[in-house]
Amino acid sequence: MTIRAGALRKRIVIQSATETRDAVNDVLTTWATFGSRWARMRPLRGRELFEAQQLTASVDTEFSCRFLAGVTAGMRVLLGSRVFSIVSPPIDPDGRGRELVLLTRENA
């Protein structure tokens, strides 16, 4: 089943990290836009959070959007000024490349 367009109300930006080293060999992480999508944002409730903790410790928000190939755990989602780390491999619920579910944790 595909997400209905009317449910996609949040504009998110998915970013990927690039690590480089500076002159004194310190690691610098820079973030670049990988893609953007309209998405549905769903905070996980207590029971769902408990179930999710069996796999991932602090998943607190789920984003569902149209499929975007190449998204991986370790990337992040921006929603305005809020930053969410993608904490598990993205889920393609029906395996048909139509929808992508991202389980995230908001960075403090």
Three-class DSSP category at 6 = helix
Considering the entire predicted model, what is its pTM? 0.80
Q: What is the CA radius of gyration of the chain?
A: 15
Local confidence pLDDT in tens for the 108 residues of the chain: 567 778 899 999 999 999 888 888 888 899 999 999 999 999 885 445 555 555 444 558 999 999 999 999 999 999 999 999 999 999 999 999 999 999 998 866
Report domain extents, the chain.
5-106
Architecture of domain 5-106: Beta Barrel (2.40)
